[in-house]
Amino acid sequence: MMAKTLVSFASYLKFSNQAIIWNSALQVEDLTRKSQLLEAELEKKSKQFSEAIELAGEETTKCKAAKEVIKSLTTQVVFLSPK
Domain ranges of the chain: 1-78
What are the C-alpha distances in Å from 11 to residues 4, 7, 14, 45, 63?
11, 6, 5, 51, 77
pLDDT exceeding 90 applies to what percent of the chain?
72
What mean pLDDT is predicted for residues 57-78?
A: 96
The pLDDT of residue 54:
98
What mean pLDDT is predicted for residues 37-61?
A: 98
Q: Categorize the per-residue pLDDT at 61 as very low, low, confident or very high, splitting at 50, 70 and 90.
A: very high
Dihedral angle, C-alpha 17, 21, 22, 26, nearest 10 °: 150
CA 48/CA 59 separation, integer angstroms: 16
Highest mean pLDDT among 7-11, 12-16, 55-59: 55-59
What mean pLDDT is predicted for residues 47-55?
A: 98
